[in-house]
Chain A
Amino acid sequence: MHPKPEPIEYTKKIYKPIIARAEYWPVMQLSRNRRSFIEEVTEASIERILETKPTRAALIEELETTLHREKHRIKQNAWAVDPEDDAEFWGEVQKLLVTISSDTNGKTTGQEKELLRRILYRYVEEIAGSFQHNSYRFARRAITFGFSRLLNASRVKGFSSLWSNQYSLQDKLHIAGETDHIRSLAQKGVVVMVPTHFSNLDSILIGWVIHVLGLPPFIYGAGLNLFNIGVIAYFMNSLGAYKVDRRKKNVIYLEALKTYSSLAIQKGCHSLFFPGGTRSRSGKIEKRLKLGLLSSAMEAQREMYQKEQKGGEPARKVFIVPVSLNYNFVLEAPSLINEYLKIKGQERYYVETDRYSNSYKIMKFLLKFFTRGSDISVSIGRGMDLLGNYVDDEGNSYDNNGKVIETRDYFVSNGEVTKDKQREQEYTRMLSEAIVLEYHRINRVFPSHLVAFVAFEMLQKKYDKLDLFSLLRLSEEELTIPYADFKATFERMRDVVVRMYHQNKIHVDPNLMGDVDKVITYGLKNVGMYHSKRTLMRDKRGDITTEDMNTLFYYHNRLVGYELEQHI
């Protein structure tokens, strides 16, 4: 059942929607029953919290911690999107808590649970998305229309270009990999898509890919900060987003969030997680994944098996589908890599800044992206079950020897599906390892990645006595590589990469094949192409040089983790 290497060339296909009528989309059903779903999530969250805080004293302590943190948040870090009655609500919570915790003769017994319910209800209400089919349709059209107008304007010459349909988005955004497979899985069970995360563009891009593949909309958690901006909030809501507030790190909120995700999966909503958490700062493919949301998928699957009735419908399976997004150019690269170096250079606390999250910046980026070329490819990986076993189109899991595995059995002890948090934690860790492996397998090597990797590694070898920070500080004159040397190394490295491709360890872009000089030229032109300082270029003598070691390091990092260094 191990996937075979996909062909290198891209194919352009038209996919029919797998569920034609929108009212049958799981996400539609969820939003139609929004109220009762919120109540369900609230009740389930209460149960979960009471499990870890079984005594009255422990629960009161948890409530007090939450109150303290929330008051701190309101004072120190209020956002436009916060509800107006925030301070009022928490003021009331405080009053009630004072009465409850000073009560020694048990008069207020039960009130602490009631308070927990109120807080949870408020949280879940905030988290819950409000998917609207009309606005989904509008948003989707606006995006597709806008994108293709921009695209044609940039590529087809003349005034009429604005209305030309010569180019569609698929000419620029290549969708590769297991496309039919994911469509099949979405019909057999619930898909949880887990893409790599490099840029703020990712979620828009993925939303578009999901639509092109004919899949019903996925739900995904989007940072609450994005909802500060009116227009974006509209799009986010209509694309099926639920809200994640990264300021709230209290246990009660986190439980509500996980429960929401878990129950939505159980209701059949395909979901999208960025398991790396935030965008990769170093430009490396994520190695450590955040286990929180992944564990909610694990839990959802186990609960689905637990709820399975004998003789009734078999529980649906949850499928994890890794997706790799491959860019020549990441708008945020310079600031991301600077943050990374800052953290690495001096282990001091730093405040996360999100410079590209306002609408102006995103628009500017989109404009640049569409008007100036530079391809993006999206590789869909093979689906796997929650233990990281590959599945076939029917959704059956297989082990390394091609034997069918019953996924339910992983959750079985002494013949019954049981809940075991520690076991699921361990499974989630194993799953995250499998996802990382799949990321590396489906990652597409662009010429721009390889020129950056080769150039940086050659420079590092040339100055092998220098540590990373001294290397990054070298002057431009010191950072040249004779073209002939570069070409020879590049060619050798390309052979290595192609060999790895045949071993199904990595994927390659069609532009990487063919005449070496042309490939190098193409790579140099595309690597970080719109940064104000060129990441790589040829100087007057034709040698390879860089204006910006930091971004070179960033783009080079994309190929770290394959042990390619040894071939330099």
Chain B
Amino acid sequence: MNKGVKAIGVIGAGSFGLAMANMLAEKNDVLLYARRLESVTHIEAHDSYKGKSLHSRIRATNNMEELASRCNVIFPIVPAANFRSMMRELAPYLHPYHILIHGTKGLDMCLPKGTPQSANPKIDRSCIRTMSEVIREESVVVRIGCLAGPNLATELMQRQPAATVVASHFKEVINEGIRLLRTDRFQVYGSDDLVGVELCGVLKNIIAIASGAISGLGLGSNAQALLISRGMVEMIYLGKALGGDVHAFIGLAGVGDLVATCTSTLSRNFTVGYRLAQGETLSQIMATMEETAEGVHTVKVMKMLAENMKVRAPITQSLHKVLFEDMKVELALQYLMKYPFNIDVDFL
């Protein structure tokens, strides 16, 4: 690798991280950070990893310092639960000239100090951080962006056409995202609503689980469509409670990503719902899944938020019962069908 030219950094060798690394490698050298040394040695020695082929311009490291010094632009793509600790490891080597564009679709909870663990804490916006907010809190980096949109890793790996949204307060970051990712089979849109786009990616996972459950029950397109459109409304309510704007939700990162994850068996969150409906328990599913389904944690957080802030979120609440309170999927569906809705759209 040429020493003078900077590489593009990717943190996380999960399926989405690998897919992004491959796409980035089409135009640039890529330095991929993996936490485990075995993964690094494997990636360095082979041209595929976990059955996925690797572009020849990808190198691997498990040294954060090296990553930060060799890359000006870094894409952190790790599960939300590990995001903060990953940032803490990386932060000492970061400078204000770094650009971070993350692709993590989960939330970080931070309760005020001294809150008892067991009690049902009162969750409001101040206890929740999006990943861009975690980056701000933990590092000196200010030029932050996020990636969201219908980007199922498997399809990206197969080099199928797709598109994404790069959101940031900084035009510079959006332009950098476009420059690095845009190809003739990958469209890149820009948005200045960073938090809105982050929330789209986060909240759609809830609906994806529910959609998987509908599918697992063997129900047809009418039910699926009902869920997706009402799910969209619920996302908007929850998003508003978190300070997001409606606009992002009707874009590629919102409805676009929602349609993709709610109809595809390739989605992890969808799979969780599907298997639940087939009669498996959450712990059985979690034990056999290779990667995190962010939606499960998101349901937990958003259920508490919805209750505390009195947001109407029947899908989230029913899912919570199914996931954590042993309710049968069929029963949850009955409950949803009895829920007194009457106005279709009241948020525009």
Contact = CB atoms under 8 A, between A and B. Distances in A.
A423 to B, nearest CB: 6
B5 to A, nearest CB: 10
A389 B169 CA distance: 19
Contact of B96 (A401, A409, A420): A409
B170 A422 contact: yes
Interface stretch (A60-68, A213-221, A410-418): A410-418
Contacts of B139: 399
B137 interface: yes
A142 interface: no
Nearest to A429: B169
A423 B170 contact: yes
A422 B176 CA distance: 14
Contacts of B92: 403
A422 B142 contact: no
A413 B172 CA distance: 9
B170 A412 contact: no
Contacts of A423: 143, 170-172
Question: Mostly helix, strand, loop or mixed at chain B's interface?
Answer: loop
Interface residues of B, number: 16
A427 B6 CA distance: 25
21 contacts: A387-B96, A399-B140, A400-B137, A403-B91, A403-B92, A405-B140, A406-B96, A409-B95, A409-B96, A409-B97, A410-B142, A415-B72, A420-B171, A422-B170, A422-B171, A422-B172, A423-B170, A426-B169, A426-B170, A427-B142, A430-B142
Interface in B169-224: 169-172
Interface in A379-428: 387, 389, 399-401, 403, 405-407, 409-410, 412-415, 420, 422-423, 426-427
A427 B95 CA distance: 16
Given A420-B172, A423-B172, A426-B169, A414 B96 contact: no
Contacts of A412: 96-97
A33 B143 CA distance: 40
B96 A405 contact: yes
Contact of B97 (A389, A401, A410): A410
Contacts of B137: 400
A400 B171 CA distance: 26
Interface in B123-149: 137, 139-140, 142-143
Nearest to B95: A409
A284 B142 CA distance: 29
A407 B142 CA distance: 12
A430 B170 CA distance: 12
Nearest to B92: A403
Contact of A387 (B6, B72, B142, B171): B142
B24 to A, nearest CB: 16
A80 to B, nearest CB: 45
Contacts of A409: 95-97
Given A387-B142, A405-B140, A430-B142, A410 B170 contact: no
Contacts of B97: 409-410, 412-413, 415
A422 B174 CA distance: 12
A441 B143 CA distance: 27
Interface string B90-109: 01100111000000000000
A242 to B, nearest CB: 32
B73 to A, nearest CB: 10
A304 to B, nearest CB: 16
Contacts of A414: 6, 72
Contacts of A389: 140
A389 B171 CA distance: 23
Interface in B213-270: none
A406 B91 contact: no
Contact of B140 (A403, A413, A415, A426): A403
**Which 3 pairs show the lowest CB-CB distances between chains A and B?**
A409-B96, A412-B97, A410-B96
A391 to B, nearest CB: 14
A420 to B, nearest CB: 6
Nearest to A412: B97
A406 B171 CA distance: 22
Contacts of A400: 137
Interface string B47-64: 000000000000000000
A436 B128 CA distance: 23
Contacts of B91: 401, 403
A256 to B, nearest CB: 26
Interface in B1-35: 6
A305 to B, nearest CB: 12
Contacts of B169: 426
Contacts of B143: 423
Contacts of B170: 422-423, 426
Nearest to B169: A426
A426 B194 CA distance: 13
Contacts of A405: 95-96, 140
Nearest to A398: B140
Nearest to B72: A414
Nearest to B91: A401
A406 B95 CA distance: 8
A406 B97 CA distance: 10
B176 to A, nearest CB: 9
Which of B6, B92, B140 has the most chain A CB atoms inside 10 A of its CB? B140
A427 B169 CA distance: 10
A356 to B, nearest CB: 40
Contacts of A420: 171-172
A203 to B, nearest CB: 33
A128 B5 CA distance: 47
Nearest to B6: A414
B242 to A, nearest CB: 19
Contacts of A422: 170-172
Nearest to A400: B137
Nearest to A426: B169
A484 to B, nearest CB: 33
A121 B142 CA distance: 38
Contacts of A427: 142
A422 B34 CA distance: 34
A407 B91 CA distance: 16
A215 B169 CA distance: 38
A146 B92 CA distance: 55
Nearest to B143: A423
A189 B96 CA distance: 21
Nearest to B88: A401
A412 B143 CA distance: 11
A420 B142 CA distance: 14
Interface string B76-118: 0000000000000001100111000000000000000000000
Contacts of B172: 413, 420, 422-423
A410 B97 CA distance: 5
B48 to A, nearest CB: 32
A427 B142 CA distance: 9
